[in-house]
């Protein structure tokens, strides 16, 4: 959790620098390139991350042969993926500079693919401290070097190339730590490679739709409009992504606390779901609706007037945020109860639906508002809504009850009143609407008695757990 907080903070710092120096077009080129290679990289990985972690955790002595086979397999897939990408982008109508950025990020992806083989192996060996150190090192390298080259006046091509250095550092560190634990070889026999290929393929589908779903909007916007509007969409999406730290911490910290509190009850799993749904809604509503209210002044403050068109995109994503928090919970619950196949189907439907939605909404918003990126966020709203409805329908009977409905109504009421108050004063210095929104929301939550005493106890326990982890981290000497 400490490493997550540190990498999140460094990512936020870099996010504040890049848009102001690169502008909307430069950010669009970077965001598009990252999206393309996230999709290609998912196929290159071919589910081997999950296979390596699973098999090595069961039989550490297989590490050497599995690592060699995975590196060879990924190298072959990468060559194929790079060739297909190189052909495809020639027909996409991108500028030459955009094509160069895509190639540069593609080279970084090769190093990332090799390094993540060792990363998956370290996770399987349960040496998460090495994974955390490497993650921090990568983010620190990219953040510091990127800011330095931006201040020196370099542009998007050099900024993209920093990722090559970062992934090289990551790959070297991952294999350095892995070699301390197990012998490392990049050689393998055909039989092992074939076994890894067959065994990893089922895991591909589990993550394929998730990755494609998250990255498809940027690619479609680039094809239907231009890289500048991808930049408008991209910075809003990055801000949106920073708030995903909240449900991650929630799932990590609160789930164990809830499990202990209800371990002695026969329906503890269903009670855990009900409590988690309520608490996560309690957190997501003020964040999401608050973002909606201050979206336009926030993006101008952070990134400058060049990104003013990102305001409406982020405002819509504020509503999406509330839905996404619940989808994270619903997906986690369904996977934990062995219904991951059903959730994969939901992801598949959402992914397929994204394409026609974008094809209709992006051109319409471009014609109506001069901002096709708004169409991407509207499509996101529709697909996340579909996933929430499907996820709730897939829950077992009794997972949610009338109490959740009544509590949700009060939380949403408090959030809407907060939204109305903040909206009326959104043009004041941004600290004022944020503070006013916090006071209004918390006051209404207390007045409406939204949070039962037992939930306050859970929140206090979670807060104490997080605080104790920070204190423990501060008391331990840093070492590599």
- State whether 147 and 94 are in the same domain: yes
**219 shares a domain with 239:** no
- Name the domain boundary from 203, 224, 245: 224
Listed residue (409, 365, 340, 310) closest to 19, CA to CA: 310
Q: Is the pLDDT of residue 19 over 50?
A: yes
Say yes or no: 204 and 190 in one domain.
yes
Number of neighbouring beta carbons within 10 Å of residue 287? 16
Are 156 and 248 part of one and the same domain? no
Q: Tell me, what's the pLDDT at 480?
A: 36
Residue numbers of the domain that contains 354? 225-480
Last residue of a domain, one of 224, 255, 290: 224
**Confidence (pLDDT) at 254:** 54
**Which residue has better confidence, 24 or 126?**
24
Amino acid 478: pLDDT: 39
Q: Tokens standing for 307?
A: 């990104």
Tell me which of 117-121, 209-213, 214-218, 463-467 is least confident. Answer: 463-467
Sign of CA dihedral 400, 402, 407, 413: positive
Whether residue 56 is found in the same domain as residue 174:
yes
State whether 187 and 324 are in the same domain: no
pLDDT in tens, 314-346: 999 999 999 999 998 888 777 666 677 788 889
User: Cα(15)–Cα(25) distance, rounded to whole angstroms?
Assistant: 15
Instruction: Give the residue with greater pLDDT, 459 vs 387.
Output: 387
Total domain count, the chain: 2
pLDDT level of residue 267 (50, 70, 90 thresholds): low
- Burial profile 37-60: b = 16 or more Cβ within 10 angstroms, e = fewer: bbbbbbbbbbbbbbbbbbbbeeee
Residues 344 and 418 both lie in one domain: yes
| Dihedral (Cα; 245, 139, 44, 161), 10-degree rounding | 130
Same domain, 142 and 153: yes
Angle among Cα 213, 217, 105 to the nearest 5 degrees reads: 90
Co-location of 205 and 337 in the same domain: no
Mean pLDDT, residues 90-106 taken together? 93
Residue 473: its pLDDT value, please? 47
Whether pLDDT at 259 is above 90: no
Asked if residue 10 has pLDDT above 90, the reply is: no
Which pLDDT does position 477 carry in this prediction?
Answer: 46
Q: What is the mean pLDDT of the chain?
A: 85
pTM recorded for the entire structure = 0.80
Helix axes 310-336, 340-369, angle to 10 degrees: 170
| Interacting residues of 181 by C-beta distance below 8 A, sequence separation 6+ | 63, 122, 125, 127
Q: Which of 52-56, 211-215, 268-272, 290-294 has the lowest mean pLDDT?
A: 268-272
Residues 103 and 237 in one domain: no
Closest CA to 317 of 379, 229, 367: 379
Domain boundary among 206, 224, 242: 224
The pLDDT of residue 173 is: 94
- The pair of three-digit structure tokens given for residue 93, joined into one six-digit string: 């109508």
Collapsed DSSP state (helix, strand, coil) of residue 127: coil
Q: Which long-range contacts (CB under 8 A, 24 or more apart) does 158-161 make?
A: 159/18, 159/22, 159/26, 159/30, 160/29, 160/30, 160/33, 160/101, 160/104, 160/105, 160/108, 161/104
Query: Does residue 261 register a pLDDT over 50?
Result: no
pLDDT of 398 above 90? no
Closest to 394 in 3D by CA, of 341, 351, 334: 334
**Highest mean pLDDT: which of 79-83, 339-343, 347-351, 464-468?**
79-83
Who contacts 85 (Cβ-Cβ below 8 Å, separation ≥6)? 36, 37, 40, 102, 106
Residue 53 — pLDDT band, cuts 50, 70, 90?
Answer: confident
> Are residues 286 and 269 part of one domain?
yes
Q: Are residues 217 and 266 in the same domain?
A: no
- Is 63 within 8 Å of 182 (Cβ atoms)? yes
């Amino acid at each position: 959790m400490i490493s997550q907080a540190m990498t999140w903070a460094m990512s936020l710092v870099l996010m504040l620098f890049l848009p102001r120096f690169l502008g909307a077009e430069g950010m669009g080129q970077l965001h598009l390139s990252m999206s393309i290679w996230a999709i290609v990289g998912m196929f290159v990985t071919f589910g081997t991350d999950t296979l390596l972690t699973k098999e090595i955790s069961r039989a550490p002595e297989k590490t050497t042969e599995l690592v060699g086979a995975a590196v060879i397999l990924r190298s072959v897939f990468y060559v194929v993926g790079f060739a297909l990408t190189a052909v495809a982008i020639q027909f996409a109508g991108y500028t030459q500079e955009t094509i160069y950025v895509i190639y540069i990020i593609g080279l970084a992806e090769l190093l990332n693919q090799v390094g993540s083989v060792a990363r998956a192996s370290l996770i399987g060996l349960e040496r998460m401290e090495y994974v955390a150190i490497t993650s921090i090192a990568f983010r620190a390298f990219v953040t510091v070097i990127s800011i330095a080259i931006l201040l020196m006046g370099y542009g998007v091509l050099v900024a993209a190339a920093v990722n090559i250095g970062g992934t090289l550092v990551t790959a070297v560190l991952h294999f350095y730590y892995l070699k301390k634990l197990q012998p490392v070889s990049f050689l393998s026999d055909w039989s092992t490679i074939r076994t890894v290929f067959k065994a990893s393929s089922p895991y591909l589908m589990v993550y394929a739709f998730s990755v494609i779903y998250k990255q498809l909007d940027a690619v479609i916007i680039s094809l239907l409009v231009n890289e500048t509007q991808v930049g408008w969409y991209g910075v809003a999406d990055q801000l949106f992504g920073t708030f995903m730290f909240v449900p991650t911490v929630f799932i990590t910290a609160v789930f164990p606390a809830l499990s202990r509190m209800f371990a002695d009850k026969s329906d503890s799993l269903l009670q855990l779901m009900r409590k988690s749904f309520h608490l996560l809604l309690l957190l997501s509503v003020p964040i999401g609706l608050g973002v909606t209210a201050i979206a336009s002044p926030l993006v101008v403050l952070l990134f400058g007037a060049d990104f003013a068109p990102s305001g409406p995109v982020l405002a819509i994503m504020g509503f999406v945020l509330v839905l996404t928090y619940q989808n994270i919970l619903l997906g986690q619950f369904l996977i934990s109860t062995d219904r991951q196949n059903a959730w994969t189907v939901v992801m598949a439907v959402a992914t397929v639906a994204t394409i026609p939605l974008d094809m209709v909404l992006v051109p319409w918003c471009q014609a109506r508002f001069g901002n096709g990126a708004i169409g991407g966020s509207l499509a996101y709203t529709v697909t996340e809504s579909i996933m929430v409805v499907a996820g709730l329908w897939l829950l077992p009977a009794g997972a949610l009850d009338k109490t959740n409905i009544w509590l949700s109504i009060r939380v949403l009421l408090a959030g809407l009143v907060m939204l109305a108050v903040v909206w009326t004063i959104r043009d004041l210095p941004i600290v004022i609407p944020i503070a006013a929104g916090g006071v209004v929301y918390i006051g209404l939550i207390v007045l409406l008695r939204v949070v039962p005493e037992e939930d306050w106890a859970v929140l206090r326990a979670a807060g104490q757990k997080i605080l104790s982890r920070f204190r423990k981290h501060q008391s331990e000497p840093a070492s590599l």
